[in-house]
């Protein structure tokens, strides 16, 4: 008897221009476009196996070995049913000999090799791996940008993890969401010199999920409206140009400004949301001082590192590969730790479009 199963991994992506706010909560259509770097598969990733079998009695999901409820009408259920619909339309309706997998229930098991729901984009790699795994199981001919429309309905940031390198998620205008997809701005090979260092400040599950936090921001923050209208569009254009020109100084300036504005918008939410903690802020101070010195004319006048924080306290530091050793020794000096890999504040690993530097 044939066994229908597929296993796929997807890496996390860390945004330089942050997605924060939905104009449609069911379809997950954002209030603004965003842009991120997809890290390499060797470090932070989700690995998902899906299996279709006529003997299964319902769709089931295990996350890190623990069974999770698939809520009817919820995001997971939407992604699964959208993928079954694509299987039927693109494969079974065209080829009468194709196995009727769209009619079978699926069992899905997913593992994250890094902290889940801690602000390190587990929902991004998680729903990207789910979508990619079902696309492989169902032998869909669809390109990543088409699949990004499905992953987006699981978690907004997930649409960007289906593509490598530098990726933009277009906010789009259509009520259907068909133009709200992820596209590659540049492949990882365009700028392999840029690396990412992940500093795990706290690996605990955050108090306010991204989903509920951004909804509260949309409902209460006036600053969000200013950001959407007057800041993000120019930043999207400017950072895309900086990436295409491999201009790290400009890339860093925009990335840090956008991270800080995103956290300001969280503070402007009622009640306010605090994702960063004292250690997060101390890392900002270290990188700002490092750049202040680098910006002096006698030192070249260009920034050497960029910090960015998602919805959590953990820092991601982007920098040209040549600066990483210096940055790591600086971080270890200011935040002493016995074993940079195991301590609570640990340098989890580095990754970039190119393979990552490690401590
Ligand atoms: P994060 O900052 O880690 O993305 P979020 O609050 O955005 O945190 O999302 C966390 C949620 O994403 C989890 O509670 C879970 O529902 C979902 N998730 C995380 N990893 C996976 C995975 N591998 N497969 C499916 N869903 C996942
Ligand atoms: C701060 O994609 O996790 O990481 O769409 O509700 O699942 P949902 O939210 P999610 O939000 C990510 C927010 C962010 C910024 C970003 O990744 O662009
Ligand atoms: Co998330």
Q: How far apart are CA 149 and CA 141, in angstroms?
A: 15
Q: Which residues surround ligand 3, an ion (CB under 5 A)?
A: 123, 210
Note whether ipTM > 0.95 here: yes
Residue having the nearest C-alpha atom to atom 3 of ligand 2: 210
* Residue 311 Cα: closest atom of ligand 2: 1
Is the per-residue pLDDT at 32 higher than 80? yes
Residue having the nearest C-alpha atom to atom 18 of ligand 1: 123
11 CA to middle of ligand 3, Å?
13
Residue holding tokens 């996390």?
A: 12
Q: How far apart are CA 324 and CA 358, in angstroms?
A: 9
pTM of the model: 0.94
Q: How far apart are CA 76 and CA 128, in angstroms?
A: 12
Pairing mode, if any, of strands 29-30 and 22-24?
Answer: antiparallel
Residue having the nearest C-alpha atom to atom 21 of ligand 1: 126
Residues touching ligand 1 (Cβ under 6 Å) are 46, 63, 110, 112, 116-124, 126-127, 130, 155, 209-210, 310-312
What's residue 40's pLDDT? Answer: 87
230 CA to middle of ligand 1, Å?
30
Is the per-residue pLDDT at 94 higher than 90? yes
Residue 112 binned pLDDT confidence (cut-offs 50, 70, 90): very high
> What's the angle, vertex CA 169, arms to CA 186 and CA 268, rounded to 5?
125
What's residue 201's pLDDT? Answer: 87
88: exposed, middle or buried (Cβ count in 10 Å: 0-12, 13-18, 19+): middle
Residue having the nearest C-alpha atom to atom 14 of ligand 2: 310
**Whole-number mean pLDDT of the chain?**
93
At residue 262, φ and ψ (nearest 5 deg) are -60, -45
């Amino acid at each position: 008897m044939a066994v229908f199963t597929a296993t796929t991994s997807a890496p996390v992506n860390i945004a330089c221009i942050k997605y924060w706010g939905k104009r449609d909560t069911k379809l997950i259509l954002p209030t603004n476009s965003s842009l991120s770097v997809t890290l390499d598969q060797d470090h932070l990733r989700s690995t998902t196996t899906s299996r279709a079998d006529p003997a299964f009695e319902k769709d089931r999901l295990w996350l890190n070995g623990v069974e999770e409820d698939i809520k009817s009408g919820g995001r997971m259920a939407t992604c699964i049913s959208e993928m079954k619909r694509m299987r039927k339309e693109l494969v079974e309706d065209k080829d009468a000999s194709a196995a009727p997998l769209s009619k079978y229930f699926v069992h899905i098991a997913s593992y994250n090799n890094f902290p889940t729901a801690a602000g390190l984009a587990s929902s991004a790699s998680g729903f990207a791996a789910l979508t990619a795994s079902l696309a492989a199981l169902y032998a869909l001919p669809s390109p990543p940008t088409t699949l990004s429309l499905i992953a987006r309905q699981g978690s907004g940031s997930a649409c960007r993890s289906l593509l490598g390198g530098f990726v933009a998620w277009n906010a789009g205008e259509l009520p259907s969401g068909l133009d709200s997809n992820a596209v590659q701005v540049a492949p990882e090979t365009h700028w392999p010199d840029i690396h990412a260092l992940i500093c795990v400040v706290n690996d605990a599950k955050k108090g306010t999920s991204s989903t509920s936090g951004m909804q509260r921001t949309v409902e209460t923050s006036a600053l969000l409206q200013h950001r959407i209208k007057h800041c993000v569009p120019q930043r999207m254009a400017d950072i895309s140009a900086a990436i295409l020109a491999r201009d790290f100084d400009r890339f860093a300036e925009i990335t840090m400004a956008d991270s800080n504005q995103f956290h300001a918008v969280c503070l402007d939410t009622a009640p306010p949301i605090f994702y960063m903690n004292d250690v997060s802020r101390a890392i900002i101070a270290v990188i700002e001082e490092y750049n202040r010195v680098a910006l002096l004319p006698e030192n070249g006048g260009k920034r050497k590192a960029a910090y960015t924080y998602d919805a959590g306290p953990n820092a991601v530091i982007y920098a040209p590969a040549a600066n990483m050793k210096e940055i790591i020794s600086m971080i270890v000096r200011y935040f002493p730790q016995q074993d940079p890999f195991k301590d609570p504040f640990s340098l989890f690993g580095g990754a970039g479009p190119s393979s990552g530097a490690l401590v």
